[in-house]
Amino acid sequence: MIKRFLSLEWKQFRRASYFQKGIAIKILLFLAVLYFGGIAIFVGGAMFFGLKKIFPEIDPIVMVNNFLIYWILFELMIRYFMQQLPVMNIKPLMIIPIKRNTVIHYLLGKTMLSFFNFISPLFLLPFSIVLLFQGYPVANVILWFFALMSITMSINFLNFLINKSNTVFYGIAVMVIVIVALKYFNLFDVTEPVGKIFNGLYNQPYLAIIPLLIVVGLYKANFNFIRKGFYLDGAVSKKIKEVNATDLSWMDRFGSVAPFLKNDIKMITRNARPKQVVLMSFFFLFYGLFFFTQKVYIEEMPYLLGFASIFITGGFLLSFGQLVPSWDSEYYKLLMSQNIPYRQYLESKWYLMVFAVIVAFILSTPYLYFGMDIYLIIAAGALFNIGLNTFITLFGGALNRVPIELDTKAKAFSNTNGFNPTQLLIALPKLILPIIIFFIPYHFISFNAGLIALALSGVIGMVFKNFFLNKIEQVYQKGKYKTIAAFSEKK
């Protein structure tokens, strides 16, 4: 039966319209995996000697164990925002004699083949091999590595629960915030006590059975969670909800784009997925605390401050904006059948992103605590986001043809965090361009020259707003029917 599932998925993947369209992106993504995978292997192999040189008085295995907790938290965060959860069209399978348990085991098995499950082995396997060549006990090293791989799989299944259950997500989020806050304010360092646990896994190899039992427990929890909703009536029935009308008449002042803006506001306030993204964009405001509190960035690498300023005011743009027009995928065909100019649709998205940048800039006022120079670079980053990043984001939307199911709570098998490689490619100029614009005048002239260049680039973008929107509209019009066809498919 598993073989048949694999055959069906391959046929669905090969016959879909996005297969041939995404060949170039798939090749680039594969090359990126090879590149970063090679770097991970090299770093893993050199990590022992690097730690030995930097901390000669501490055993490298002890140093790695002490900081594994931060790697685990980082991996959990990356998985939550980027890992694609298993998707399968289960409705046809519910009316034919196939055991539910078989389908669920197959879905959970797919998660074990995720690329994210191979990140830790790429680092830790070379490191473990070096340990063996350096004369460390074979059984200790092998079972320690086995325990860490079990922890990686535990994170994999825990991520599944986090994405499907708000209760689990908020619990983990609170725990992470508490750990970081205690460390930041020097109240309690979790490194040493947690490091003792990982050192215990190395010194007492038989304890490797504990992470394995955790994997089994989380697998069982996921299995039970999915099985509860694995019923035909649960998959096809719709819950009737009472919708409270919101007075958005004040938006009529925006003229012809007002209906689109109202539609976006209603979509955000009434659906789970947009709410999650808006909440995530709020946390981007705190990104500057990582840079502005470190002297190394202010004194030695100030050009990276421009990079930080983009995140502070561009959280909504980078998270919500990159998924335009996928937010409208469920009714995109109806939207495009109306007698409305495409330009108005795109301009409404632009106004929404601009409004979000302005709100984020106002909320960033407390950064004045770090000095006027810091606040000015945030202002320059806001102008860059409005004048250039908004247009780059809209242009990238023309290449984004991955549909989104808005209410992720409604279906247990929805792709709640689908990661589209196109988004990554389009995100690169949005992140690299401000660094280049700021660095060149900063390096050859002064810090203020970098500020002016970054702000001026945004102003120029706003001056040529109509030109950019017209060009972007042409791209959207050219791929209009391809987008409609892609959104009509069920992935």
- At CA 10, angle to CA 397 and CA 228, rounded to 5? 85
Q: Which amino acid is at 354?
A: V
Maximum mean pLDDT: which of 176-190, 234-248, 406-420: 176-190
Please name the helix (run of DSSP H) or strand (run of DSSP E) that holds residue 283, with its range, or none. Answer: helix 272-283
pLDDT band at residue 85 under the 50/70/90 scheme: low
Taking a C-beta distance cutoff of 8 angstroms, is the pair 209, 146 a contact?
no
- Which residues have C-beta within 8 Å of that of residue 219, sequence separation ≥ 6? 108, 157
The pLDDT value given to residue 420 = 55
Distance CA 273, CA 280 (A): 11
Taking a C-beta distance cutoff of 8 angstroms, is the pair 133, 48 a contact?
no
Question: For 146-169, what is the mean pLDDT?
Answer: 81
* 45 Cα distance to chain centroid: 28
- Between 246-250, 395-399, 410-414, the lowest mean confidence (pLDDT) is in 410-414
CA distance to 84, 149, 197, 220, per residue, from 215 (Å): 19, 10, 17, 9
Q: Which amino acid is at 425?
A: L
Tokens of 286: 């705190």
The pLDDT value given to residue 448 = 85
Please name the helix (run of DSSP H) or strand (run of DSSP E) that holds residue 158, with its range, or none. Answer: helix 138-164
* Residue 355 pLDDT exceeds 80: yes
The pLDDT value given to residue 84 = 63
Question: For 94-111, what is the mean pLDDT?
Answer: 78
The pLDDT value given to residue 414 = 37
Distance CA 50, CA 42 (A): 12
Domain residue ranges in the chain: 1-238, 253-491
* Residue 315 pLDDT exceeds 90: no
pLDDT, tens digit (0-9, with 9 covering 90-100), for 400-443: 777 777 765 433 333 444 445 556 666 777 778 888 888 888 88
State the Cα torsion 408-410-412-415 to the nearest 10°: -30
pLDDT band at residue 237 under the 50/70/90 scheme: very low
Distance CA 341, CA 4 (A): 46
The pLDDT value given to residue 225 = 83
Burial classification of residue 103, based on how many CB atoms lie within 10 Å of its CB (0-12 exposed, 13-18 middle, 19 or more buried): buried
pLDDT band at residue 240 under the 50/70/90 scheme: very low
Question: For 195-219, what is the mean pLDDT?
Answer: 90
Distance CA 267, CA 275 (A): 9
Distance CA 314, CA 308 (A): 10
Question: For 242-257, what is the mean pLDDT?
Answer: 61
The pLDDT value given to residue 257 = 74
Taking a C-beta distance cutoff of 8 angstroms, is the pair 447, 440 a contact?
no
The pLDDT value given to residue 215 = 93
CA distance to 32, 46, 64, per residue, from 41 (Å): 14, 9, 16
Q: Give 266 or 455, the one with higher predicted confidence.
A: 455
**Percent of the chain whose predicted confidence (pLDDT) is above 70:** 78
Tokens of 80: 């939550």
Burial classification of residue 310, based on how many CB atoms lie within 10 Å of its CB (0-12 exposed, 13-18 middle, 19 or more buried): buried
Burial classification of residue 325, based on how many CB atoms lie within 10 Å of its CB (0-12 exposed, 13-18 middle, 19 or more buried): buried
Question: For 348-363, what is the mean pLDDT?
Answer: 90
pLDDT band at residue 56 under the 50/70/90 scheme: confident
The pLDDT value given to residue 151 = 92
Taking a C-beta distance cutoff of 8 angstroms, is the pair 340, 417 a contact?
no
Tokens of 336: 């495009």
Question: For 196-219, what is the mean pLDDT?
Answer: 90
CA distance to 291, 305, 307, 308, 364, per residue, from 301 (Å): 10, 8, 11, 12, 22
**Percent of the chain whose predicted confidence (pLDDT) is above 90:** 11
The pLDDT value given to residue 70 = 80
The pLDDT value given to residue 456 = 92
pLDDT, tens digit (0-9, with 9 covering 90-100), for 120-132: 888 889 999 999 9
* Residue 53 pLDDT exceeds 80: yes
The pLDDT value given to residue 475 = 87
Average pLDDT value for the chain? 78
Distance CA 68, CA 120 (A): 11
pLDDT band at residue 23 under the 50/70/90 scheme: low
Taking a C-beta distance cutoff of 8 angstroms, is the pair 40, 122 a contact?
yes
Which residue carries 């959990």 as its tokens?
A: 76
- The helix/strand/coil state of 407 is coil
108: how many CB neighbours lie within 10 A of its CB?
18
Q: Is the dihedral of CA 418, 424, 430, 434 positive or negative?
A: positive
The pLDDT value given to residue 147 = 92
Taking a C-beta distance cutoff of 8 angstroms, is the pair 106, 22 a contact?
no
- Between 2-6, 200-204, 312-316, the lowest mean confidence (pLDDT) is in 2-6
- Between 204-218, 302-316, 430-444, the lowest mean confidence (pLDDT) is in 302-316
Q: What is the pTM of this model?
A: 0.59
Q: Give 415 or 8, the one with higher predicted confidence.
A: 8
Which residue carries 């689990």 as its tokens?
A: 168
Long-range contact pairs involving 26-31 (C-beta distance under 8 Å, separation at least 24): 26/421, 28/421, 28/425, 29/421, 29/424
Maximum mean pLDDT: which of 349-353, 407-411, 478-482: 349-353
373: how many CB neighbours lie within 10 A of its CB?
14
Q: Which amino acid is at 349?
A: K
Nearest by Cα to 60 from 144, 116, 155: 144
pLDDT band at residue 110 under the 50/70/90 scheme: confident
The pLDDT value given to residue 216 = 93
* Residue 214 pLDDT exceeds 90: yes
Tokens of 177: 């915030």
* Residue 69 pLDDT exceeds 70: yes
Nearest by Cα to 88 from 100, 112, 106: 106
The pLDDT value given to residue 259 = 77
